Amino acid sequence: MRGSWSDFGIRDTINWVDRSSPSNTPPSSPELKPSKIPPPTQHNQSVNDYFKMIKIYATELGVDLDNQGLKEKFFNGLSLDNKKEAIRFGVKKSLNEMVEHLNRISSRFTDIEKFPFGSLEQGNDSIMDFYRKVKKYYKLLGNVEELHLKNHFIRGLSCDNQLEAGRCGLDLPLDELVARLSALENLTNQDK
């Protein structure tokens, strides 16, 4: 009888340990377990350095990088500019894709600083020269929808050319709108 009591106690102890063991939780569980360390924040670090800290944090929590809670912590810890860029890119994409995108964008900032966003204005440039300038700026940004390029182009036009663009039709494809504005500009310049 004594041997069976001992076996019973050991079996219950093992079962109790198995139920409470954190290793029974799947690595990509939907919720993050509480951690003794706070989640990292980017501050002035590069995206790569911040991502290394997130990987360490994920290891501490015992989750993989596809964990939704970890992605939320990553996003919340980003700098304000990188949060905006992550939203533009799509926060539902994988963490690795988001980091790759943020690294690609941050490496181009030095080139883009030559063309601060929102400051491109036509000034004395011809329609075609201004259009080339805007296209060059957007080429630095990478994959940008034509609608963004078109909006930026129209916003930077002189007031008179903005009115002309409205008369031509803002729903036109950008290349056609530019061709029409350029033709109108050439006619105006011939009269002078």
**Domain-by-domain residue ranges, the chain?**
2-112, 127-191
Give me the pLDDT at residue 142, please.
Answer: 63
Are 120 and 156 spatial neighbours (Cβ–Cβ below 8 Å)? yes
Give me the pLDDT at residue 29, please.
Answer: 47
Give me the pLDDT at residue 148, please.
Answer: 76
Give me the pLDDT at residue 128, please.
Answer: 93
Give me the pLDDT at residue 179, please.
Answer: 94
Give me the pLDDT at residue 15, please.
Answer: 45
Give me the pLDDT at residue 144, please.
Answer: 63
The string of pLDDT tens digits covering residues 59-97 is 988 899 889 999 999 999 999 888 888 888 888 889 999
Q: Would you say the C-alpha torsion 107, 108, 114, 115 has a positive or negative sign?
A: negative
Q: 158: Cβ–Cβ under 8 A, 6 or more apart, which residues? A: 121, 122, 123
Give me the pLDDT at residue 169, please.
Answer: 86
pTM above 0.85, yes or no: no
Give me the pLDDT at residue 51, please.
Answer: 92
Residue 65: CB atoms within 10 Å: 16
Give me the pLDDT at residue 180, please.
Answer: 93
Virtual CA dihedral for 41, 44, 45, 51, nearest 10 degrees? 30
Mark the ranges of the chain whose per-residue pLDDT is less than 70: 1-35, 106-119, 140-144, 192
